[in-house]
Amino acid sequence: MESSEDSVSNRVGEFTVATKRRLADDAGGRCSLPDCRVMTQGPGVRVGRAAHICSAAPRGPRGQGGLSTLELASERNGIWCCASHADQIDSGNGALYTAGTLIGYKELAHARALVELKGGLVPKSGWFHGLVLSSRAFPPGSTLRFGKATFLLGRNGTGKTVLAGYLAGFADPRQWQPWLNGLPEEHSVSIRYFDPEPRTYGVTLGHRRIERTRDGQPDMPVAVPVCIRYCSLSHFSAGDAHGLDDLAESLGESSHVVAAVLGTLSSPDISGARVTGSQVEVQLAGSGDVVRWTKMSMLSAGEQSLLRFLIELAVTRRRAQDLPTLLVVDDLPGVFDTRLCGLVLGQLADPDLPFQTLVLAREDPGPEVLDGWTRVELVAAGQQVRLAQEMF
Ligand SMILES: [Zn+2]
């Protein structure tokens, strides 16, 4: 592998031998894909390869991300893998491995390599890898593989509500309680994540009881050291909820936390927010040179949802400083018009956000809006549901 690559080392954006060596060392000599991790080097041999996060080829799978030729060949743009995974990443399509997902894998591989070396004294690192489902609707082993930003499309009747219920419970186990009496059969759900060691947190719901497991062992009902935030943007109208307290309650946050992040909000549509008395006011962009503050209750439904989304984003950023974090946003395109939907999905697909995102949607906003997203679809097949996702 090495020699054939060196013969084309003058190709645009190609990594130098020194860069490849550093990438391999940072990954502990193993493939960076979390489920692979095969050893790629030994005494005097290196059989792995450096794949490009943003593509070196102009029409490569993930575009060039606006990078210069030098940046394309930089260590920052490389990920160390076994030969077959490097091939998949360089030649596969961008929906399979997005740039954000590859950056996440690279950071995780580095953290795991440090754990092997130092036994735990490593920088914080987390990655949510998969959701494994089993119920009458979801055949055992049904797996949703998380990307950095994952778009889960489930039209009516495909079990999206059930799936949203599982995730709401992972965010707040009290959410599972009302379900229990109405569940005639068992539902098993587990989340696989890395912290950076591999972990699994599972629940079995049904027959009026909840059983939890952690790494296969029975678990006490205590908080798991991850942060899964569930956010539903619909079902809220500021028309009958005017104050900071109502807004905070609808987001499941304390008024103190919401007030603290209001001053940091910024988007092309809302350029500022503040609390006056117990009222929340926002400054809508495009209102001219005169600064005008509008009460939350006077905003349109779309503007209210945008405000709540921006607050959720700001709070989740803070939480992600302490724990591996997944933000679940339910019914996202449903509450926004096409333009706002594109804006919000673009913000969530930013590879630099310090957490992963899962969006649940009933409608498909189209491929141009989903650039940078891992797309999964719930497909009804008779009495069962299949998770349609491109995976190797
Ligand atoms: Zn591999």
Residue 2 has pLDDT above 80, yes or no: no
Residue 48 Cα to ligand 1 midpoint, Å, equals: 8
pLDDT confidence of residue 221:
63
Q: Tell me, what's the pLDDT at 371?
A: 86
Report the C-alpha gap between 387 and 346 in whole angstroms: 24
Distance 298 CA to ligand 1 centre (A): 54
Identity of the amino acid at 370: L
Question: Could you tell me which residues come within 8 angstroms of residue 261 by beta carbon, excluding any fewer than 6 positions away?
Answer: 311, 314, 315, 318
* Residues 321-332 as b or e (16 or more Cβ within 10 Å = b): eebbbbbbbbbb
Q: Give the domains, in start order, of the chain with CATH numbers.
A: 2-118 (no CATH), 127-226+323-388 (3.40.50.300), 239-300 (no CATH)
Q: Is the dihedral of CA 319, 320, 324, 327 positive or negative?
A: positive
Q: How far is the CA of 326 from the centre of ligand 1 (A)?
A: 25
Q: What's the CA-to-centroid distance between 40 and ligand 1, angstroms? A: 9
pLDDT tens for each residue of 209-240: 889 898 888 877 666 788 999 988 876 655 55
Q: What is the pLDDT of residue 259?
A: 92
Could you tell me the distance, in angstroms and rounded to a whole number, from the CA of residue 86 to the centre of ligand 1? Answer: 7
Q: What is the pLDDT of residue 192?
A: 95
pLDDT of residue 142: 93
CA of 113 to the centre of ligand 1 (A): 15
Whole-number pLDDT of residue 381 = 86
Stretch 161-170: mean pLDDT: 88
CA of 239 to the centre of ligand 1 (A): 53
> Would you say residue 6 has pLDDT above 50?
no
DSSP classification of residue 36: T
pLDDT in tens, 49-82: 999 999 887 777 787 777 888 888 999 999 999 9
Q: Contact at 8 Å (CB) between 244 and 280?
A: yes
* CA dist., res. 192 & res. 224, Å (int): 12
Above 90 in pLDDT, residue 13? no
**39 Cα: distance to centroid of ligand 1 (angstroms):** 9
**Mean per-residue pLDDT for 95-105?**
90
CA of 132 to the centre of ligand 1 (A): 22
Which helix (H) or strand (E) covers residue 322, if one does?
A: none
pLDDT at 288: 64
What local confidence, expressed as pLDDT, does residue 327 receive?
96
Give me ligand 1 centre to Cα 24, in Å. Answer: 13
Chain-centre distance for alpha carbon 49: 26
Query: In this structure, which amino acid lies at residue 105?
Result: Y
Taking residues 291-306, what's their average pLDDT?
86
Using 50, 70 and 90 to split pLDDT, how confident is the model at 8?
very low
Question: Distance from the CA of 184 to the center of ligand 1, in angstroms?
Answer: 41
Percent above pLDDT 90 for the chain: 41
Average pLDDT over residues 146-164: 91
**CA within 13 Å, CB half, 169:** 25
* Ligand 1 centroid to residue 376 C-alpha, Å: 22
